[in-house]
Structure 1
Amino acid sequence: MKVANRHSDCCAAEKHTHTNDNHKHASDEHGDDDGHDHGSTEPQSWLSHWPLLTALTVVIVMMVLEYGFHITFSNLIQLIIFIPAYLLAGYNVLDLAFRKAMRLDFFNEFFLMSVATVGAFAIGSYSEGVAVMVFYAIGEWFQDTAVSNAKRSIKALLDIRPDAVDVIRDGKIITVNPAEVNIDEVIQIKPGEKVALDGVLLSEKATFNTAALTGESKPDNKNKGEQVLAGMINLNQLSEIQVKASFKDSKLSKILEMVQDATARKSQTQLFISRFAKVYTPIVFLLAVLVVGLPYFFVADYVFRDWLYRGLVFLVISCPCALVVSIPLGYFGGIGLASKNGILFKGSNFLDVMTQVDTVVMDKTGTLTKGVFDVQRVVSNNFDEKELLKLAAAIESKSTHPIATAIVKHAGDVLQDVKIEQVEEVAGHGLKGLINGKEVLAGNARLLDKFQITYDKAISEEADTIVVIAVAGQYAGYITIADELKEDAKQAISALHALKIQTVMLSGDKQTVVDKVAKLLGIDHAFGNLLPENKVEQVEALKQQGKHLAFVGDGVNDAPVVALADAGIAMGGLGSDATIETADIVIQNDQPSKIVTAIKIGRLTKKIVWQNIALAMGVKVIVLILGAGGVATLWEAVIADVGVALLAILNAVRIQQMKV
């Protein structure tokens, strides 16, 4: 199971590859290159930090003695006391600085802190040198803890797969690991247990809590034959489920993998800060050297020790760690907040993309409507009505489309003696096949046009969705299907308009149906009678107009458009695997209102991240000026550096507690 490492080198901003939980990185014999195991999400106890706590105690005691009781010690006594404390607090930093220096890497926070603190000792500022190292190490400790907690909270949101499941084999119930269960085997779920694998319900009915998958705690009632997904919790009675996907292929496993991979995809802001740190650190070193040496040529009473002290202050405050840690942490928080709301961002870069979206393009069926169809009428044309329904149900039984499912359900048990052969999908049109030796076509009116079959053109005026049927080359009639709008569809469109976002609907359904839905919801522009390639053309046309697009869809035919949009959003409940895998963002509970939530989370995350950038840079610039001017001491420098880092981290962490 892959987990993305935290950015390991705050100043050098090196990009690490993923590690595997079971195999440590080659450098791990010494810890990661930054001296911390950022890949781990296990919390460390206070006792494991006894060297740092001991050093902190020494600093506090010496400060109390000096400033509280005015007790001073000779330089030798101070060295005897402070050098062990310095080594306890800074051993890891000194070790890493040395190892990086051996690779000619001098522009990093470890070398920076080592130079600053050793320099403080060189000019006799022992307590300040130790304090700089102690507070820097404390800041790193808090940073590591915050990053680990952020990753652990994201992982915990979805890592809820049971590690055991009851499977029925040879009439006996045995408990096995879910990975050992085969497709089509039957598993038994007790009340209160989590479903371990995707499948269909064999019991007559059951009720499930789907909060882990959708973010919604509302119970979901399932009937026999309906889909049940891993991660749902059985609420009220013993249920049997026939497995339809292996453990690794379940939607929950794929979702978990998406979330883990998401922490590795960096946003443009993160990438900019990483590049900035690589340039910024060498410049800071140069400026520190100039602060020390340049006044020699211009200041009459130049004292090397005083200007060296100012240069050391300059080095301490210049560390960009607050930026390079708090910014990824802000994006982790955004991903975590989205997951809590049933939205999966496959990378922090897509949080940024959603802040730029000015047009949301949506599919109709399964996105704005429930995709749960009911047959309204069966209209025959010189053909037996029951036979027409039977033939339509036979060919549609080979399709998983919601319309096909509705026709098969409406027909009932009529397919026992029907011979079904050579069924093929005509993309964007419908189905063609042999039913009891007769060629049957079932789909939209364009299907009959394609095969040059004459039909009553008046059917195009039907307000409902229709499936037109031809038998043996002759128009035989049609079936009308009605779909329901999702409860929050109108609210979603209104909320998008409130955010000044344009809405567009693209559908393969006929224009009369599309216009009806668009009018009910208040959609700005609606286009019907579209084949998959027509949807692509519409999206390309919008992009050529300079629009920043999010496309929302659920069907296999939506996958190309999802891939083309700036942000591809898939409805994860009813959505096809192809669309979910292609999408950048997955809405787990299929609610259109979550599109608005995703945009708001993106904007909120960006706001927090830029607050951190402004805070860190603002304070650093002020203290850098004060330090160069001799006003700020090492104490102010380290407190400002650590304080800014902690404030930025707390600001980033609070994202996950916010409501949108």
Structure 2
Amino acid sequence: MTKERNSKGKELEDMTITSPRTAEEPGPKSRPERPENEEERSSYVLTILSLVLLLAGIALDFFDAEWFSGYLRLAVFGIAYLLVGGKVIKHAATNIVKGEVFNEFFLMSIATIGAFYIGEYAEGVAVMLFYVIGEHFQEAAVARSRKSIKALIDNRPEEVGLIRNGQVVIVDPKEVEIGEIIQVKSGEKVALDGIILNEGSSFNTAALTGESKPDTKGKGETVLAGMINLEKLIEIEVTSRYEDSALSKILKLVEEASGRKAKTQKFITKFAKIYTPIVVFFAIGLALLPYFIVETYIFEDWLYRALVFLVISCPCALVISIPLGYFGGIGAASRNGLLFKGSNFLDLITEVDTVVMDKTGTLTEGVFKVQEVKVEGIPQDQFLALTAALESKSTHPIASAVVEHAGEAYKQLEVQEVAEIAGHGLKGTVDGKELLVGNAKLLQKFNVSFDPKIEEIVETIVVVAIDQQYAGYITIADAIKEDAAVAIAQLREFGVTSIVMLSGDKDSIVQKVAGQLKIDQAYGGLLPQDKVSKVEELKKQGRKVAFVGDGINDAPVITLADVGMAMGALGSDAAIETADVVIQNDQPSQIATAIKIGKKTRQIVWQNIILAFGVKALVLILGAFGLASLWEAVFADVGVAFLAILNAVRLQKIKF
């Protein structure tokens, strides 16, 4: 399957540098609203004038005003028609010159001009007027969708406080280079990706993850553009330029996504090109063929039926509402912390029957944490303090996990004579006691006896001896994410028949995690090429596969899957770049949410298709037998289009 990928964020327009800001001045301004388009405004005015003239003409006809006849009547309805129909006729003529004859502009023009020809002025104006009103509703719905997505995601400030020569200078974020230091006050949005230089703060990360729960970041940790600083003044060393920030890339992905069409969209576009000329020839046949069949043939009557047929058969409802439905799906996904890189993936994810997941960083936190502490002959608090004091002299991730778990008590202990024994652990003196902290091989090396059953433990284990006596052990593992079990259950509810876990971790750990989460199949000790082979096997079996991963080693298999999904908060750039769907908050339960949004989007799109075809088919039959007028035709076309638009917009309000 050929997949379209996102490009780098584009350059944005330059902005001027302002003067230095004092502490009393407010933070970066919010992005101003764009003024209403003058062309749109004039179009609305012309539509209202046309409606007023149409209603006036209908009222005068109803009261049978004698003076309202002939050229005056034609002039009133003609002006009302041209106010709204002028652009439509112009579009039709322009397309004919280009060789694109059969489209909705052509159908509307022929039908309404024909109505004027047979003297049905009011109906001719009404058809064109309500068609244009329907177009206005469509434009408003699309504009609203775009605005809501942009407001949700485009949180980039226009100004940033840059520290230069000891002063804070207000500059455009695009002017800031990598390595420079910016200042972010409490309540301000972070403008650029970077690393915190001082003690840190709490942040609202909703723009990036969809989660409003505050996230605390400390010194040395990464913050991303779009986060809101909730507590205190911080300084950040910039690590990415403005156009390469995580938020800029997200916004670019959403902008590009609406251009990638789903199969249903492509089908309807092709269908309309074939369907429209067929409809025109049927209408011509309906107007002329009865001459050879019907005894009392009246051309004007059969032409009227043909015009009704043309108006009803206009594919506007389909052409308008289907793309809007998919755009609504992309917007709904964005609000839930999911980025679909195209509406085609909204369709594809509904077909997934097999979900394959990486373990570390996808189902587990990707961070070592203490799972269990077993102590013999010593209080646990003392055991942890002694062990953490020695481990604090190491930079190994396992040592860091022990230190973090132990609390602050170890800092009061004196550590001396620390020696690292490669592949075994640490030896040293803590508070006058000789400690051995490491794996079982370390204790064997120093002839310290211990319970041999500890070698059967699956997790990573830290064994401790104090003064040549075995004192206990600490198990350390990558903790399973809180929502991992819920994620697996939800996937089964949404029709996923097979859940597979692939990992580079040792197989014993992989199998234990799989058992805890009730995963169907699990494979450990895999290299990237092994993961690719496993997914290829599944695809050969005819499975529709979604793969979810986060590391650079997952990029090849993400590309191979029918739907590749990446964890966006902690995931590597390579995984995110190659993915079709990005989960911004790193929660595996979002996989099921993505499927749910895809299914709901498809449901609404097909509701619109069935509604449009059903109503049109009914009124087409009535029109062919002379039982439907142009007024019914207007409802069958513009009314159905309006209902379909409302249905599509509804998707943006649904809570998932």
Q: Which residue of 1 aligns with 2:254?
A: 259
Q: Which residue of 2 aligns with 1:521?
A: 517
Q: Which residue of 1 aligns with 2:376?
A: none
Within a 5 Å distance, the mapping from 1:189-588 to structure 2 comes to: 189-374=184-369, 393=395, 461-465=456-460, 481-501=476-496, 502-588=498-584
Alpha-carbon contact 1:358-1:548 (below 8 Å) kept: yes
Q: Which residue of 2 aligns with 1:659?
A: 655
Within a 5 Å distance, the mapping from 1:158-169 to structure 2 comes to: 158-169=153-164
| 1:345-370 residue CA offsets vs partner (Å, 9 max, x unmatched) | 00000000110011111111111111
Partner amino acid, structure 2, of 1:603: K
Distance 1:112 1:344, change over 3 A: same
Q: Which residue of 1 aligns with 2:620?
A: 624
Alpha-carbon contact 2:494-2:595 (below 8 Å) kept: no
Partner Cα separation in structure 1 for residue 504 and residue 121 of structure 2: 76
Alpha-carbon contact 2:392-2:399 (below 8 Å) kept: no
Partner Cα separation in structure 1 for residue 491 and residue 280 of structure 2: 48
Partner Cα separation in structure 1 for residue 400 and residue 587 of structure 2: 21
Q: Which residue of 2 aligns with 1:646?
A: 642
Greater shift in the superposed pair: 599-608 or 521-530: 521-530
Partner amino acid, structure 2, of 1:148: A
**Secondary structure of 2:587's match?**
coil
Partner amino acid, structure 2, of 1:259: V
Deviation at 1:152, TM superposition (A): 2.2
Alpha-carbon contact 1:344-1:587 (below 8 Å) kept: yes
Partner Cα separation in structure 2 for residue 581 and residue 69 of structure 1: 69
TM-score normalised according to structure 2 size:
0.80
Q: Which residue of 2 aligns with 1:440?
A: none
Alpha-carbon contact 1:158-1:252 (below 8 Å) kept: yes
Q: Which residue of 2 aligns with 1:102?
A: 97
Alpha-carbon contact 2:345-2:563 (below 8 Å) kept: yes
Partner amino acid, structure 1, of 2:488: I
Alpha-carbon contact 1:41-1:149 (below 8 Å) kept: no
**Secondary structure of 1:173's match?**
strand
Greater shift in the superposed pair: 232-241 or 70-79: 70-79
Deviation at 1:499, TM superposition (A): 2.1
Partner Cα separation in structure 1 for residue 217 and residue 474 of structure 2: 27
1:606 aligns with 2:590: no
Partner Cα separation in structure 1 for residue 67 and residue 537 of structure 2: 77
Partner Cα separation in structure 1 for residue 484 and residue 71 of structure 2: 76
Deviation at 1:66, TM superposition (A): 2.4
Stretches of structure 1 lacking an aligned partner (at least 5 in a row): 1-18, 23-39, 379-384, 397-401, 414-429, 431-456, 468-477
Partner Cα separation in structure 2 for residue 614 and residue 149 of structure 1: 25
Within a 5 Å distance, the mapping from 1:51-200 to structure 2 comes to: 51-67=46-62, 73-200=68-195
Deviation at 1:574, TM superposition (A): 0.5
Deviation at 1:205, TM superposition (A): 2.8
Deviation at 1:524, TM superposition (A): 1.4
Alpha-carbon contact 1:154-1:339 (below 8 Å) kept: yes
Alpha-carbon contact 2:192-2:242 (below 8 Å) kept: yes
Report percent identity of matched pairs: 60
Deviation at 1:466, TM superposition (A): 7.6
Alpha-carbon contact 1:120-1:312 (below 8 Å) kept: yes
Alpha-carbon contact 1:155-1:260 (below 8 Å) kept: no
| 1:74-104 residue CA offsets vs partner (Å, 9 max, x unmatched) | 2322112111111111110111111122223
Alpha-carbon contact 1:208-1:219 (below 8 Å) kept: yes
Alpha-carbon contact 2:362-2:588 (below 8 Å) kept: yes
Alpha-carbon contact 2:494-2:596 (below 8 Å) kept: no
Partner amino acid, structure 2, of 1:200: I
Partner amino acid, structure 1, of 2:50: A
Partner Cα separation in structure 2 for residue 259 and residue 647 of structure 1: 26
Deviation at 1:50, TM superposition (A): 1.5
Number of corresponding residues: 564
Partner Cα separation in structure 2 for residue 351 and residue 20 of structure 1: 29
Partner amino acid, structure 1, of 2:76: I
Partner Cα separation in structure 2 for residue 259 and residue 171 of structure 1: 39
Alpha-carbon contact 1:461-1:512 (below 8 Å) kept: no
Deviation at 1:485, TM superposition (A): 1.2
**Secondary structure of 2:570's match?**
coil
Distance 1:459 1:521, change over 3 A: same
What is the root-mean-square deviation of aligned Cα atoms in Å? 3.2
Partner amino acid, structure 1, of 2:613: M
Deviation at 1:174, TM superposition (A): 1.0
1:594 aligns with 2:594: no
Partner Cα separation in structure 1 for residue 194 and residue 147 of structure 2: 29
Partner Cα separation in structure 2 for residue 460 and residue 176 of structure 1: 59
Distance 1:75 1:485, change over 3 A: same
Deviation at 1:71, TM superposition (A): 6.3
Partner amino acid, structure 2, of 1:54: L
**Secondary structure of 2:526's match?**
coil
**Secondary structure of 2:289's match?**
helix
1:637 aligns with 2:633: yes
Distance 1:516 1:304, change over 3 A: same
**Secondary structure of 1:372's match?**
strand
Partner amino acid, structure 1, of 2:645: I
Which entry has the higher C-alpha Rg, 1 or 2?
2
